[in-house]
Amino acid sequence: MSGRGTAIALRIAQAIPVVIGVVVISFVLTRALPGDPAAQFAGIAATPESIEEVRRALGLDKPLLQQFFIYCAQLLQGDLGQSISTGRPVVSELAARLPASLELTLTALFVSCAISIPLGILAATRPGSWVDQLCRLLVTAGVSLPTFFTGIVLVYVFYYLLGIAPSPLGRLDFVYLEPPHVTGFFLIDSVIARDWETFGGTVKQLVLPATTMALFTLAPIARMTRAAMLSALSADFIRTARASGLSRRKVLYGYAFRNALLPVVTTLGMVFSFALGANVLVEKVFAWPGIGSYAVEALVVSDYAAVQGFVLAMALLFVFLNLVIDLAYSVIDPRFGTSAK
Amino acid sequence: MTTTRRNFLKTGAALSAMPFFMSLPASAAARDTVVVASGETINSLDLHRTGTNRASYEVAINCYDRLIRFGTKTTPEGGVSFDYSQIVPELAESWTTSEDGLVITFKLKPNAVFQDGTPVTAQDVKWSFDRAVSVGGFPTTQMKAGGLERPDQFAAVDDHTFTVTLDRPSKLSLPDLAVPVPFIINSKLAMEHATDKDPWAMEYLHQNTIGSGAYKVIRWDNGQQLVYERFDGWVGGLTPAVKRVVRREVPSAATKRALVERGDVQVAFGISDKDASELSGMLKVDSTPIANCVHALCLNTNFEPFTDPNVRKAIAWAVPYEDIFKTAAYGRGAPLWGGTEEITDTAWPRKSQYSTNLEKAKELMAASAYPDGFEVPLSIALDLAYWMEPAALLIQEAVGKLGIKTTIDKIPGANWRTASLVEKRLEFHLENFAGWLDTPDYYFFWAYQKGHLFNSSNYFNEEVEQLTNETLHMEMDDPEYAPKITRMFEIVLDELPRIPLWQPALNVAMNGADGYEFWFHRQLDVRTLTPVAS
């Protein structure tokens, strides 16, 4: 057990230089971006003097190194700075928007796993059958349809033509009140508040965007499941298991699937990270108040604090995610964390 | 039945007690609520704050009053637009200008109150104007345009009398008090929240509206929605018909269009030219051309071949105006080509005397110092690619026939302003400027005077300099005004530092609402909206 504990501690320790690197790089990169925030925020008809005034007010007249130390000192106090474009602390912006993005992404991933993993297994056990063809079709469609396109088509068909979907206006129709803030996830918060109508409203709003994201994330997971299952099923130990007369179920799920799960979990981690990135487009189509559209807007107006805060939050999220995946490995594969790792 | 928040709200008794209530879109037909979809985000409730974006001016317009505002008129297209020539009271009851034109005295409406019930006094006006000229950035620049530069120009004579003292008489001073910037703030309430570091209560006003305006913001979810609620004590104008206006942010144009077509939102503000032209048969669409705004093709005098008048005219005759207007603007807006050479009125923007005539263009090009053409990059802004890109492609093709080889250079939005307006280094580019104050001299001041921001062609003409300076503060009914202005038109349309292409439109689609008015600030004035059964 101590082997596992050490491995986790080691993983966390490895994350420290990554985070420091992210802080430095995000600071330097935002400054290296073309565009002058002082000119941007002084407005289009600004005079050189008023631009200088704004520059001083934003603290951008100081030497770069000094700006960096000020930023680091603030970071150590947990202060990500003030977003100039929204005039609110970056921390509170992220706290308000990250749950929205996570709720959407996690729901989408849950749906896509629920479909793609069984589909991948079925396709692998019956290669060449209609299930396999269906899997191939879904995978190709998922890869080739851009998310904003799927999003718009879904809105067109289910909202505009059929009228069964609610208006694509963010996380909740304005018929409902937001549930009291506990986690920021409306699904969870409304359950805590036992407000089933709001829960229903949240689900309704989630269906289309989550389906869009699920279609997009389905492809890599289904493919990886199929491939990993195929190679596991052709392995020697499966032949041995079959020869020993173990039941089909035991062979398939007890041995083949468990071995195939490692690459699937790895893919899942990767899919999660790029799904968060691809969220931006879905957020735009469904007016979803997520973190992606916030970051894009901040970038456009060179809002340094907001961009840095976003990059840092994402970095921490990925460090955490990698940790979770590594821990999942050790659950799936007992060899992890021992000499065999 | 247990009392949950929702059925508590459903009783309706809670309406006045709750900050925000529920209105089903379907039942909204009998409604006192109008839902507006807009693509742009509101990032502050205070126009004076550094970093406040253009979309946020809407809050200053709807939640605060100015002393005066412009009247309205019916447009040739059948819509309603602001009328620059007419100034009507908002918080001021009356005003007089002294003989020498240096002192303007305003009498405030005696019954005017702020939304917290305190009366509006001249001290509040003074504090608000002081704030506008002191905070720096855009508000201060805009105040300067009207000759309002220092706090000592403003005085509260008594509770209801307020004076503005000018350094020189100017026809721009009074109109400049009707733009969104000099809005009147409840100074007593603001001072309670002011600190030594923040004497103008910027932090408080960023999150709160404390004016005397027709609406107050009762809910603001950054990046999602803003909810206005009517203030029934408003004395600035006719009581608005709509009790609540919900402004939802919808970034995707396709979604915005679907929402207004289905009637789930009543107003889609700022839709694209394409959507406007396609929706105009089905819904009520208003496409008023933007006042004092010209989309122009600019020829920089820094670039040697463009100093040749024959080259400039050749390009002006080669541009495929009609095609550009149809492809880039879907025909929304007003054409600015094919006019007469003789200038008899002072209306601006005006049609130039040029139209597409390739033969004429080729003759002029052959007569120039560059009969074989030259190479030049044609620059456009990525932010504005929706109109600049199709326009640039058509221009590229047309001038190619004159032997002018162009490559299209797409410049990211963050760099565009610096490259085009500050450094003025783009040889051949597309540009647009719109003046809030709707007079030709104001346009010339920004776009044709040497060194001024929007003169991205580095144009300099001594006569234009002088005429602009003379007309800028001159009354428009002065007998010398019209001849001077027509002379200015003549010169710049002959010398062509900027080739006018078309006057763009602001498109608004309505389904279940009416009463939209076009305003020079290009934001939605929700005070005039009315619900209609759809």
A37–chain B nearest CA distance, Å: 8
For residues B418 and B392, which has the higher predicted lDDT (pLDDT)?
Answer: B392
Which residues in chain A have Cβ-Cβ distances shorter than 8 Å to B181? none
Which residues in chain A have Cβ-Cβ distances shorter than 8 Å to B142? 45
Amino acid at B101: G
Q: Do B137 and A54 touch (CB under 8 A)?
A: yes
Contacts of B104 (CB under 8 A, 6+ apart): B95, B96, B97, B98, B163, B164, B166, B173, B174
Side-chain half-sphere CA neighbours of B469 within 13 A: 8
Burial of B342 (0-12, 13-18, 19+ CB in 10 A): exposed
3-state secondary structure A296-317: HHHHHCCCHHHHHHHHHHHHHH
C-alpha span between A187 and A178 (Å, rounded)? 11
ipTM of the complex as predicted: 0.78
Minimal Cβ distance to B224: which of A57, A167, A289 = A289
Conformation bin of residue A256: beta by default, left when phi > 0, alpha when psi is -120 to 50: alpha
The answer to whether residues A162 and A190 belong to one domain is yes
C-alpha span between B384 and B410 (Å, rounded)? 10
Which residues in chain A have Cβ-Cβ distances shorter than 8 Å to B225? 170, 174
Structure token digits, residue B325 = 């207007």
Q: Do B418 and A170 touch (CB under 8 A)?
A: no
Q: For all residues of chain A together, what is the average pLDDT?
A: 85
B366–chain A nearest CA distance, Å: 40
C-alpha span between A95 and A317 (Å, rounded)? 13
Q: Do B53 and A85 touch (CB under 8 A)?
A: yes
Q: Give the 3-state secondary structure of residue B16.
A: coil
Adjacent-strand bridge partners of B268 = B37, B509
Note whether A165 and A207 are within 8 A (CB).
yes
pLDDT bin (cut points 50, 70, 90) of residue B449 is very high
Query: Helices (DSSP H) in B208-291: which residue ranges?
Result: 253-262, 273-279
The answer to whether residues A201 and A310 belong to one domain is no
* Residue in the block written with tokens 């100039």: A84
The answer to whether residues A14 and A113 belong to one domain is no
CATH number of the domain at A122, please: 1.10.3720.10
User: Which candidate, B214, B276, B269, places its Cα nearest to that of B247?
Assistant: B269
Q: Which of A177-181, B113-117, B442-446 bottoms out in mean pLDDT, i.e. has the lowest?
A: A177-181
| Predicted pLDDT at B25 | 43
Q: Which of A319-323, B239-243, B302-306, B314-318 bottoms out in mean pLDDT, i.e. has the lowest?
A: A319-323
| Predicted pLDDT at B2 | 45
Q: Is the pLDDT of residue B22 over 50?
A: no
C-alpha span between B240 and A120 (Å, rounded)? 60
Which secondary-structure segment (H or E) carries A70? helix A64-76
Q: What is the DSSP string of A111-164?
A: HHHHHHHHHHHHHHHSTTSHHHHHHHHHHHHHHHS-HHHHHHHHIIIIIIIS--
Side-chain half-sphere CA neighbours of B279 within 13 A: 29
Q: Is the pLDDT of residue B1 over 50?
A: no
Which residues in chain A have Cβ-Cβ distances shorter than 8 Å to B246? 174
3-state secondary structure B301-348: CCCHHHHCHHHHHHHHHHCCHHHHHHHHHCCCCEECCCCCCCCCCCCC
The answer to whether residues A113 and A229 belong to one domain is yes
Q: Do A41 and B50 touch (CB under 8 A)?
A: yes
Mean of pLDDT values over A109-116: 92
The answer to whether residues A293 and A210 belong to one domain is yes
Task: Indicate if the alpha-carbon torsion angle B14, B20, B23, B29 is positive or negative.
Answer: positive
The answer to whether residues A138 and A64 belong to one domain is no
Which residues in chain A have Cβ-Cβ distances shorter than 8 Å to B35? 174
Note whether B4 and A195 are within 8 A (CB).
yes
Which secondary-structure segment (H or E) carries B430? strand B428-434
Return the residue in B5, B22, B206 with the most chain A beta carbons within 10 A, the one to mutate for interface testing: B5
Note whether B279 and B271 are within 8 A (CB).
yes
Q: Is the pLDDT of residue B30 over 80?
A: no
Note whether B228 and A130 are within 8 A (CB).
no
Q: Hey, which bits of chain A come out as E strands?
A: none
Count of H helices and E strands in chain B?
17, 22
Q: Is the pLDDT of residue A318 over 80?
A: yes
C-alpha span between B518 and B82 (Å, rounded)? 6
pLDDT bin (cut points 50, 70, 90) of residue A127 is confident
Mean of pLDDT values over A301-323: 85
The answer to whether residues A68 and A124 belong to one domain is no
| Predicted pLDDT at B24 | 41
C-alpha span between B431 and B424 (Å, rounded)? 11
Q: Which of A193-197, B284-288, B513-517 bottoms out in mean pLDDT, i.e. has the lowest?
A: A193-197
Note whether B111 and B117 are within 8 A (CB).
no
B112–chain A nearest CA distance, Å: 31
Q: Give the 3-state secondary structure of residue A265.
A: helix
The answer to whether residues A186 and A292 belong to one domain is yes
Total residues found in chain B within this entry: 534
| Predicted pLDDT at A4 | 67
Adjacent-strand bridge partners of B156 = B162
pLDDT tens-digit map of A328-341:
887 887 776 554 44
Note whether B260 and B25 are within 8 A (CB).
no
Q: What is the pTM of this model?
A: 0.83
Which residues in chain A have Cβ-Cβ distances shorter than 8 Å to B206? 87
CB atoms within 10 A of CB B371: 12
User: Which candidate, A110, A109, A112, A120, places its Cα nearest to that of A256?
Assistant: A120
| Predicted pLDDT at A51 | 79
Which residues in chain B have Cβ-Cβ distances shorter than 8 Å to A88? 222
Return the residue in B205, B222, B453 with the most chain A beta carbons within 10 A, the one to mutate for interface testing: B222
Amino acid at A339: S
The answer to whether residues A53 and A142 belong to one domain is no
| B453 in A contact zone (CB under 8 Å) | yes
| Predicted pLDDT at B11 | 40
Minimal Cβ distance to B41: which of A41, A175, A297 = A297
Mean of pLDDT values over B338-367: 92
The answer to whether residues A127 and A204 belong to one domain is yes
Task: Indicate if the alpha-carbon torsion angle B216, B218, B222, B226 is positive or negative.
Answer: negative
Percent of chain B topping pLDDT 70: 94
Q: Do B50 and A42 touch (CB under 8 A)?
A: yes
Kindly list the distances between the CA atom of residue B4 and the CA atoms of A30, A194, A195, A246, in Å, as whole numbers in the listed order: 47, 9, 7, 55
| Predicted pLDDT at A336 | 65
Q: Is the pLDDT of residue A174 over 80?
A: no
C-alpha span between B131 and B136 (Å, rounded)? 9
Return the residue in B20, B134, B208, B252 with the most chain A beta carbons within 10 A, the one to mutate for interface testing: B252
Contacts of A162 (CB under 8 A, 6+ apart): none
Contacts of A304 (CB under 8 A, 6+ apart): A30, A31, A37, A81, A84
In the DSSP assignment, the letter for residue B120 is: P
pLDDT bin (cut points 50, 70, 90) of residue B358 is very high
B16-55 residues touching A, CB cutoff 8 A:
20, 22-25, 35, 41, 43-44, 49-51, 53
The answer to whether residues A238 and A225 belong to one domain is yes
A167–chain B nearest CA distance, Å: 7
pLDDT tens-digit map of B112-163:
999 999 999 999 999 999 999 998 778 888 898 899 999 999 999 999 999 9
Q: Do A159 and B225 touch (CB under 8 A)?
A: no
Amino acid at A170: G
Total residues found in chain A within this entry: 341
C-alpha span between A253 and A188 (Å, rounded)? 31
Q: How many domains does chain A have?
A: 2
The listed range with the strongest mean pLDDT (A272-281, A323-332, B463-472) is: B463-472
The answer to whether residues A37 and A134 belong to one domain is no
Q: Note every long-range contact of A90-96, with CB atoms under 8 Å and residues 24 or more positions apart, other chains counting.
A: A90/A305, A90/A306, A90/A308, A90/A309, A91/A309, A93/A294, A93/A306, A93/A309, A93/B222, A94/A291, A94/A309, A94/A310, A94/A313, A95/A184, A96/A184, A96/A289, A96/B222
Full residue range of the structural domain in which residue A267 is found: 93-300
C-alpha span between A116 and A223 (Å, rounded)? 8
Backbone angles phi, psi at B140, to 5 degrees: -65, -40
Percent of chain B topping pLDDT 90: 77
Q: Which of A51-60, B384-393, B477-486, B487-496 bottoms out in mean pLDDT, i.e. has the lowest?
A: A51-60
pLDDT tens-digit map of A24-82:
988 888 888 777 777 777 766 667 777 787 788 778 888 888 888 888 888 888 888 88
Q: Do A287 and B255 touch (CB under 8 A)?
A: yes
| Predicted pLDDT at A103 | 92
